[in-house]
Chains A and B, each alone.
Chain A
Amino acid sequence: AAGVIQSPRHLIKEKRETATLKCYPIPRHDTVYWYQQGPGQDPQFLISFYEKMQSDKGSIPDRFSAQQFSDYHSELNMSSLELGDSALYFCASSSTGLANYGYTFGSGTRLTVV
């Protein structure tokens, strides 16, 4: 079965650079969630989109922005990168009415800021 696809798998950026992470949801899923997991930390909810509109917002820094496109894929844009942004970034997707039944995460993007 198709899963959530994230790209790239690994990304190395320098401080103050910009990074773009992409997430392709499971086909026919209309909701996307983004989480950040720092080293030794639990996943922290960043933001979610439903039908291309922001549906919920968590601890996402103002330097980050995200959107969901007409094909339901989502991109997380991160500017003015800081060392503390180094983390695993996970994306998950669900379909309408099933959000509270749990969802599957993509393989994640490991961002390293040097």
Chain B
Amino acid sequence: QKEVEQNSGPLSVPEGAIASLNCTYSDRGSQSFFWYRQYSGKSPELIMSIYSNGDKEDGRFTAQLNKASQYVSLLIRDSQPSDSATYLCAVSSGNTGKLIFGQGTTLQVKP
């Protein structure tokens, strides 16, 4: 079992819809949780971070964390074709800053 798991997709949504991306992790000691967006051949780009239970909103993005269920999600409202990319869930535990990534979910937003 991978330490961080995501559905690889692809997840296809129409333009303007809400895209919901999910991630589970196995290490209960994990403290920091991140969502990165990665376009093909490019480096991962940090779009959201969350550290405590509940929701965190930033523009069209909302991250949700439930430590009891070891679950992190990312909602993208009003999805745009430019949001089409692979979304990587990453978890940090310990204090060295090492990130464990999920395998990523490919999102396709259709015009």
Contacts and interface: CB of A to CB of B under 8 A. Distances in A.
A69 to B, nearest CB: 19
A102 interface: yes
Interface string A34-47: 01000001111100
B46 A99 contact: no
B102 A42 contact: yes
Please classify how large the interface on chain A is, using the bins under 10, 10 to 19, 20 to 34, 35 or more. 20 to 34
Given A42-B104, A100-B31, A102-B49, A48 B97 contact: yes
A20 interface: no
Contacts of A45: 98-100
A94 B96 CA distance: 10
A107 B42 contact: yes
A99 B104 contact: no
Interface string A91-111: 000100001111111111010
23 contacts: A42-B88, A43-B88, A44-B101, A48-B98, A56-B94, A56-B96, A56-B97, A56-B98, A88-B43, A90-B43, A99-B96, A100-B51, A100-B92, A101-B32, A102-B32, A102-B46, A103-B46, A103-B97, A104-B45, A104-B46, A106-B43, A107-B42, A108-B42
Interface of A: 31, 33, 35, 41-45, 48, 50, 55-56, 58, 88, 90, 94, 99-108, 110
